[in-house]
C-alpha cells in the first residue's frame, strides 16, 4: 500500500466515525484515484470525495522515509439544494479543534488538528502528524448543475522500520 492510498483510507475511516456527517452525506465517501475511480454520478447527493497526494521532494533520513502530503476533501451537491447542506458537512469535516483548545486542541470529530493514524493495522509503519487546514473554496460545474466545495489540509507523513 502506498502512503497516499493509506492516507486516503485513514481520512475516510476518520470521517466514517462521525455519525452526524454520515447522516448528512447521503451519497457516501469516495476515494479519488485517477480518472473518476470510485465516483459514481447519480448515486446520491451530497457526496464526499477524498484525494491525497504526496507533494515536494521526499525527505529520506537514515532508515526512514518522509513526505509532505496534501489532502483535498470535496463535497459535491446539486445546485438546486443550495449551500446549507454543504456548509453543514464542511463544518463537520473541519471539526471542533478550535472549540477544544482548553483540552489541547484535540478534536472529537473532524480533520483539523487530528493526529492521523495511517496504517497501523497493516504494519507498514506509516505515521502522520496533525492535519492542518489550509483553506477551501467553492466551484460550480460549467452546466451549473453541481456545486462543490474543496477543503485542503496538509500533513507530514513518515515511515521508520521497526
> What's the pLDDT tens digit per position in 10-68?
899 999 999 999 999 998 888 775 444 445 555 689 999 999 888 766 666 666 678 88
pLDDT digit string (tens) for 108-158?
A: 899 999 988 886 545 567 788 899 999 999 999 888 899 999 999 999 988
Q: Tell me the C-alpha distance between 80 and 146, whole Å.
A: 8
Neighbours of 107 (CB within 10 A): 21
Q: What is the pTM of this model?
A: 0.85
Whether cis (ω within 30° of 0) applies to the bond prior to 100 is: no
pLDDT of the residue at 18: 95
List, in sequence order, every residue forming a beta bridge with 49; answer none if it has no partner: 30, 74
Torsion sign over Cα 156, 52, 70, 133? negative
What is the number of domains present in the chain? 1
| SS3 readout for the chain | CCHHHHHHHHHHHHHHCCHHHHHHCCCCEEECCCCCCCCCCCCCCCEEEEEEEEECCCCCECCEEEEEEEEEEEEEEEHHHCCHHHHHHHHHHHCCHHHHHHHCCCCCCCCCCCECCCCCCCCCCEEECECEEEEEEEEECCCCCEEEEEEEEEEEEEECCC
Residue 36 has a pLDDT of: 45
Which domain CATH number covers 145?
A: 3.30.70.1700
Mean pLDDT of the 83-103 span: 87
Backbone phi, psi, residue 159, to 5°: -140, 130
More confident residue, 101 or 94: 94
pLDDT score of 62: 62
Residue 44 to residues 30, 54, 87: CA-CA distances in angstroms? Answer: 12, 30, 17
Domain span holding position 10: 3-159
Which pLDDT does position 133 carry in this prediction? 95
Amino acid at each position: 500500500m502506498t502512503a497516499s492510498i493509506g492516507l486516503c483510507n485513514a481520512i475516510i475511516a476518520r470521517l466514517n466515525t462521525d455519525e452526524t456527517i454520515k447522516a448528512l452525506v447521503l451519497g457516501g465517501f469516495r476515494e479519488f484515484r485517477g480518472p473518476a475511480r470510485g465516483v459514481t454520478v447519480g448515486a446520491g447527493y451530497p457526496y464526499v470525495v477524498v484525494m491525497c497526494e504526496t507533494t515536494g521532494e521526499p525527505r529520506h533520513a537514515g532508515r526512514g522515509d518522509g513526505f509532505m502530503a496534501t489532502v483535498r476533501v470535496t463535497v459535491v451537491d446539486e445546485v438546486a439544494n443550495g449551500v446549507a447542506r454543504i456548509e453543514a458537512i464542511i463544518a463537520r469535516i473541519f471539526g471542533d479543534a478550535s472549540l477544544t483548545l482548553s483540552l489541547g486542541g484535540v478534536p472529537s470529530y473532524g480533520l483539523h488538528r487530528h493526529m492521523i493514524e495511517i496504517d497501523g493495522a497493516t504494519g507498514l509503519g506509516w505515521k502522520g502528524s496533525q492535519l492542518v487546514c489550509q483553506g477551501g473554496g467553492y466551484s460550480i460545474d460549467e452546466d451549473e448543475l453541481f456545486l462543490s466545495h474543496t477543503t485542503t489540509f496538509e500533513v507530514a507523513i513518515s515511515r521508520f522500520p521497526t
